Amino acid sequence: MADGYALLDTPAPQAAPAPLSHKDEQARLLALEAQYCSHGDTVHYTQFPKIFSGCEGSFMFDDEGNRFLDLQMWYSAVNFGYANPRLNNALKRQIDTLPQVASQYLHREKIELAALIARDAEAKFGEKGRVHFNVGGAQAVEDSLKLVRNASNGKSLMFAFEGGYHGRTLGASAITSSYRYRRRFGHFGERAHFIPFPYHFRGPKGMSKEEYGEHCVQQFARLFESEYNGVWDPKTGQAEYAAFYVEPLQGTGGYVIPPKNFFIGLKKVLDDHGILMVVDEIQMGFYRTGKLWSIEHFGVTPDVIVFGKAVTNGLNPLSGIWAKEKLINPTIFPPGSTHSTFNANPLGTAVALEAMKMMAEDDYETMVMAKGAYFLRGLEELKRRHKIVGDVDGLGMALRIEICEPHDSYTPSKRLVDLMCDEGMKADLETDGKRYGLVLDIGGYHKNVITLAPALTMSHAEIDLAIKLLDQLFARVANA
């Protein structure tokens, strides 16, 4: 009888709930996100965040099957295309062999990756150096700050550029020019002394780009003319500042490209006064500009290079610094000087090692410079066609479009850029009978610049598609 009663009490099987429609599922996820996710990251710069579910090559996909041509590739972290088979397979192999190891131990991939980067730097710059790994770009910047403060006997003051961006950790925020990244977190007593970058489009009229570059160097050099400018003691030949943090091309600042002569003049001033040059290659490294390091275009030897992002194609967090031997050798920068549980993690180093081998096997310099020049010609044609385009420029596959009010093609127009990003997310731009969306990123001093960092593997046909879609988008927002 007991068994019989048990059978009577057993509830009838319930049918599985019907799957939600794409629209309802998106609404469910966004409701959860609104309640449980921090808004402290960059997602909520837009009113209606987009949920993506797939990616391949130069494209992102949503649940409804819409294709979005991505022209910013995760802030230049995915230089070699989404779901790159060769790099994905390197990650899978490592997961099946040595997926984890504490950073107090060694593994082959870390050693070989460091050797590749250091030997390449020695061949290019004529300087022996060493490589030190971490996880994210800002963390590598923090490590570099320790390195230069240690090498300068504790000097804690730095120079950096107006428009420069080096991350949002506390130390990196202090050398990033935007006050909004520091405002909520108290006084930064050791924030950098910010120096104008030669931003020719918005510089003084009547100067060539090269003349403006020389002018900016001369203005910086004036700081050392007298002790009363507050940075230099001529009696002892000592500067109060330890290093100058530079992005060869400004990233978040709007992909501003300096004149070729600028860094040669700047480096001479720094060398004359015992100040180190730390080059931030986090966004521009790994052939974004057609060179492994963008500083190679400008004829100077850095003292420190900071890198991250594309070293793993965005697959697993890894960053690091290369520094001259005199700054990083074990007698001056001993074990324990910095630490992160996940630095030099084997998944990251394995993918990065494969990426470095891949870059060495093909002529990325020629390929990227040719594609970038082709893309830039298309942007120049758009500038001729649309009054809202004030300026276009590029170096390799780092390209910029400065959006302005149409009455003068100069007044910055953040409103039009914001509208462009929103319209690109609608996935209703049509060409050749197909509908597309556009993934764009905003930068610039006035937040009116579209910064383009497409996949280096992008085809010429995809570049043509990008120009067609941008053409439509410009016309749409101008008419709005």
pLDDT averaged over every residue in the chain: 95
Is 268 in the same domain as 369? Answer: no
Tell me, yes or no, whether 150 lies in a domain. yes
What is the span of the domain harbouring residue 413? Answer: 65-77+364-478
Q: What percent of the chain has pLDDT over 70?
A: 97
Tell me, yes or no, whether 235 lies in a domain. yes
Q: Which of 336, 361, 386 is the C-terminal boundary of a domain?
A: 361
Over residues 37-63, mean pLDDT: 88
Q: Which of 311, 326, 361 is the C-terminal boundary of a domain?
A: 361
Q: Is the pLDDT of residue 250 over 90?
A: yes
Is 237 in the same domain as 377? Answer: no
Tell me, yes or no, whether 9 lies in a domain. no
Q: Is the pLDDT of residue 480 over 90?
A: no
Q: Is the pLDDT of residue 115 over 80?
A: yes
Tell me, yes or no, whether 30 lies in a domain. no
Distance CA 415, CA 144 (A): 37
Over residues 390-394, mean pLDDT: 98
Is 323 in the same domain as 340? Answer: yes
Is 330 in the same domain as 414? Answer: no
Q: Is the pLDDT of residue 443 over 80?
A: yes
**pLDDT at residue 49, rounded to an integer:** 84
Tell me, yes or no, whether 218 lies in a domain. yes
Smallest CA-to-CA distance from 249 within 312, 179, 296 is with: 296
Is 69 in the same domain as 107? Answer: no
In the numeric block, which tokens belong to residue 462? 């995809």
Q: Is 135 helix (H, G, I), strand (E, B) or coil?
A: coil
**pLDDT at residue 285, rounded to an integer:** 98
Distance CA 306, CA 219 (A): 26
Tell me, yes or no, whether 8 lies in a domain. no
Write out pLDDT tens, residues 229-241. 999 999 999 999 9
Q: What percent of the chain has pLDDT over 90?
A: 90
Could you give the number of structural domains in the chain? 2
Report which of residues 381 and 15 the model is more confident about: 381
- 432's CB contacts (< 8 A; 6+ apart) are none
- 415's CB contacts (< 8 A; 6+ apart) are none
Q: pLDDT confidence of 7, banded at 50, 70, 90?
A: very low
Is 355 in the same domain as 456? Answer: no
Write out pLDDT tens, residues 61-98. 999 999 999 999 999 999 999 999 999 999 999 999 99
In the numeric block, which tokens belong to residue 42? 């960059």
Which CATH number is 468's domain given? 3.90.1150.10
Write out pLDDT tens, residues 151-199. 999 999 999 999 999 999 999 999 999 999 899 988 777 899 999 999 9
**pLDDT at residue 46, rounded to an integer:** 74
**pLDDT at residue 12, rounded to an integer:** 65
Q: What's the angle, vertex CA 274, arms to CA 273 and CA 276, rounded to 5?
A: 120
Over residues 44-63, mean pLDDT: 90
Which CATH number is 345's domain given? 3.40.640.10
Question: What are the b/e assignments for 232-261, b being 16+ CB within 10 Å?
Answer: beeeeeebebbbbbbbbbbbbbbbbbbbeb
Is 139 in the same domain as 215? Answer: yes
Q: Is 73 helix (H, G, I), strand (E, B) or coil?
A: helix
Write out pLDDT tens, residues 127-157. 999 999 999 999 999 999 999 999 999 999 9
Is 175 in the same domain as 128? Answer: yes
Q: Which of 295, 326, 361 is the C-terminal boundary of a domain?
A: 361
Q: pLDDT confidence of 44, banded at 50, 70, 90?
A: confident
Over residues 40-51, mean pLDDT: 80
Q: pLDDT confidence of 114, banded at 50, 70, 90?
A: very high
Is 104 in the same domain as 136? Answer: yes
**pLDDT at residue 5, rounded to an integer:** 46
Over residues 203-218, mean pLDDT: 96
Write out pLDDT tens, residues 411-435. 999 999 999 999 999 999 999 999 9
Tell me, yes or no, whether 111 lies in a domain. yes
Q: pLDDT confidence of 2, banded at 50, 70, 90?
A: very low
**pLDDT at residue 1, rounded to an integer:** 45
Distance CA 60, CA 83 (A): 11
Is 233 in the same domain as 150? Answer: yes
Q: Is the pLDDT of residue 439 over 60?
A: yes
- Cβ count within 10 A of residue 460: 11
Is the CB of residue 442 less than 8 Å from the CB of residue 451?
Answer: yes
Is 130 in the same domain as 246? Answer: yes
Torsion (CA) 178, 183, 188, 193 in degrees, nearest 10: 20
Tell me, yes or no, whether 53 lies in a domain. no
Is 369 in the same domain as 256? Answer: no
